[in-house]
Amino acid sequence: MIRAASASIAAIRRALLLAAGFAAVALAAMPHPASAASRIKDIASFEGVRDNLLVGYSLVVGLSGTGDMLQQNAPFTQESLVGMLERLGVNIRDKTGAVPLTLNPMNIASVMVTATLPPFAHSGQRIDVQVSALGDAKSLMGGHLVVTPLLGADGEVYAVAQGALTGVGIIAQGQAALTRKGMPNVGTIPNGAIVERELPFEMSHMDSVKIQLRNPDFTTARRVAQAVNAYLGTAVARPTDPGTVQVMVPASYKGNVVGLLTDVEQLKVEPDEVAKVVIDEASGTIVMGENVRISTVAIAQGQLTIRITETPQVSQPTPFSSGGSTVVVPRTDIQVDEGQQNKLAEMDHAVTLQELVNGLNALGIGPRDMIPILEAIKAAGALQADIEVM
If we measure between CA atoms, which residue out of 9, 127, 31, 106 comes closest to residue 62?
106
> Do residue 291 and residue 371 come from a single domain?
yes
pLDDT in tens, 157-168: 999 999 999 988
When pLDDT is averaged across residues 82-99 and rounded to a whole number, the result is 76
> Do residue 58 and residue 127 come from a single domain?
yes
CB atoms closer than 10 angstroms to residue 209: 21
> Domain boundary residue among 249, 269, 289?
269
Q: Which of 322-326, 332-336, 386-390 is predicted least confidently?
A: 332-336
Please indicate, yes or no, if residue 246 is contained in any of the structural domains. yes
Distance CA 371, CA 380 (A): 14
- The end-to-end CA distance of the chain, in Å, is 84
DSSP code, position 322: S
Domain that holds residue 246: 208-269
> Do residue 150 and residue 250 come from a single domain?
no
> Do residue 155 and residue 224 come from a single domain?
no
The pTM of the full predicted model, rounded to 2 decimals, is: 0.63
Helix (H) or strand (E) holding 163: strand 157-164
Q: What is the pLDDT of residue 306?
A: 43
Please indicate, yes or no, if residue 1 is contained in any of the structural domains. no
Please indicate, yes or no, if residue 155 is contained in any of the structural domains. yes
Q: What is the pLDDT of residue 244?
A: 94
CA separation, residue 340 to residues 304, 335, 343, 347, 377 (Å): 9, 13, 7, 20, 22
